Structure 1
């Protein structure tokens, strides 16, 4: 095996420019470092923004290689224009439904989407599939640590989900008209993302992070069950959606009692 790689130097920008052989070598070294095996490998310039995808199997679980470094996360509302259908849904279904949402769509979105920003992140392995919490969120970090894992930070979660995409959802700015954000059916939310992770195939599956104020990937079915309208039902799958209301509920006694309905996506650190 080639000389050991310092994964602190393996940035997302560099990962995207590596040739196939070098990228695979790095993935194999990551697998070796954590006592795993390279279970899935794909490298093709035609894949677009992220040409390489590596999934490492460790202790029977799949972990995708997520290069870090200086990356951009969050969403730039000022550069986004809603579609006519998104505006119609918000005005006629959400606002007119009497749920107390602000009449201005942009005001509402500013409260639930993190702003566009540049952050510096470590290169890590992140679980392909989130797992159900087995304890209240305040205790989840200690339980994961006993397995050599930790929960992701909100910035790590957003970067891993979006993989450099600047669109509202990881697949684009709109949602499919012939699918739903829960249950079975076609749609980009059922496909692995650019890193090989499976995110948000159901809005019922909300994921906690290391920050109690940030819950990502779903809303526990609140918008779907509440009848908030099509756009707000899909919105929990937006990469930058951090769901402050659900996070606050989860910290309350009633919310803690429902911890088994929430998920966490474990992270393995690399050196």
Structure 2
């Protein structure tokens, strides 16, 4: 069998004994150490998490399927605090109506084919992987080469969204609301700091943005621009939306002028 065909429903419907054998089969086929299975609940949804170790790097099983990705702001029902926060930002920066802005800053609604895969629990800076000889690679190319040297790759944009939201249809993976008296970095606890449904630490800090296989698509943050610039609490939280897309930031980050102390990726082990 191909473990890449394993769907969310198939995985969660397996009896515990079968699930353990499935996890062991994945580990054996890919030279991994199974860490264990555990049941988790996130934002009112439950899931069985399978964890694996690869040379000290922890991976979680992310089942596949044909999910709907992206976000359509027509279904967004902001609470009064979100409306008020955005109104202040819109007045200061000349922004369009709230739903129009959310639509512009999130990826379009679409269907995607996503295989089951193993995804790193924590983001990773592959530029730290040793390499021999001098290199003139730009940071993005160096990061991708670093992953390749250890037999990994980063996520596609679709895979990142699926990994982050785990099929949630809300603006954020935990719902549509956000704290209204601070930015994400002001809170060390809360739904954004918790491991998500798959068991991943992802989309927790807007400063910790992650690159994808598409050079200009950056996910999970905006480099801290909205927070550092004091753009308003709702705009600061919006950068953690599952489908968040800042095209301008992505294009700058991918350009010769783009700068980063580190480039974070979400390593993937493709299943066979």
TM-score by length of 2: 0.89
Pairwise CA distance, 1:30:
1.6
Pairwise CA distance, 1:48:
5.5
Say if 2:47 is the partner of 1:54.
Answer: no
Say if 2:245 is the partner of 1:259.
Answer: no
Provide the secondary structure at the position in 2 that maps to 1:70. Answer: coil
Aligned length: 262
- Hey, what's the Cα distance between the residues in 2 that align with 1:169 and 1:229? 17
Distance of aligned partners of 1:113 and 1:197 in 2 relative to their CA distance in 1, 3 Å threshold: same
Alignment of 1:233-248 (within 5 A): 233-248=236-251
- Hey, what's the Cα distance between the residues in 1 that align with 2:237 and 2:186? 13
Say if 2:223 is the partner of 1:224.
Answer: no
Corresponding residue for residue 105 of structure 1 = 98
Runs of 4+ in 1 over 6 A off after TM superposition: 44-47
Residue 178 of structure 1 contacts residue 186 of structure 1 at CA under 8 Å; is this kept in 2? Answer: no
Say if 2:54 is the partner of 1:65.
Answer: no
Provide the secondary structure at the position in 1 that maps to 2:155. Answer: coil
Which moves more between the two structures, 213-222 or 139-148? 139-148
- Hey, what's the Cα distance between the residues in 2 that align with 1:178 and 1:188? 15
Residue 60 of structure 2 contacts residue 120 of structure 2 at CA under 8 Å; is this kept in 1? Answer: yes
Please tell me the root mean square deviation across aligned C-alpha atoms, in Å: 2.1
Say if 2:56 is the partner of 1:78.
Answer: no
User: Which deviations, in whole Å up to 9, do the C-alpha atoms of 1:156-200 show, x marking residues without a partner?
Assistant: 000011111111111111113476411552211111001010012
Which moves more between the two structures, 29-38 or 55-64? 29-38
Alignment of 1:119-130 (within 5 A): 119-130=112-123
The partner residue of 1:95 within 83, 90, 97 is: 90
Mark the runs of 5 or more structure 2 residues left unpaired by the alignment: 128-137
- Hey, what's the Cα distance between the residues in 1 that align with 2:79 and 2:116? 35
Provide the secondary structure at the position in 2 that maps to 1:96. Answer: helix
Distance of aligned partners of 1:49 and 1:186 in 2 relative to their CA distance in 1, 3 Å threshold: closer
Distance of aligned partners of 1:57 and 1:133 in 2 relative to their CA distance in 1, 3 Å threshold: closer
Pairwise CA distance, 1:100:
3.9
Say if 2:31 is the partner of 1:35.
Answer: yes
- Hey, what's the Cα distance between the residues in 2 that align with 1:35 and 1:224? 42
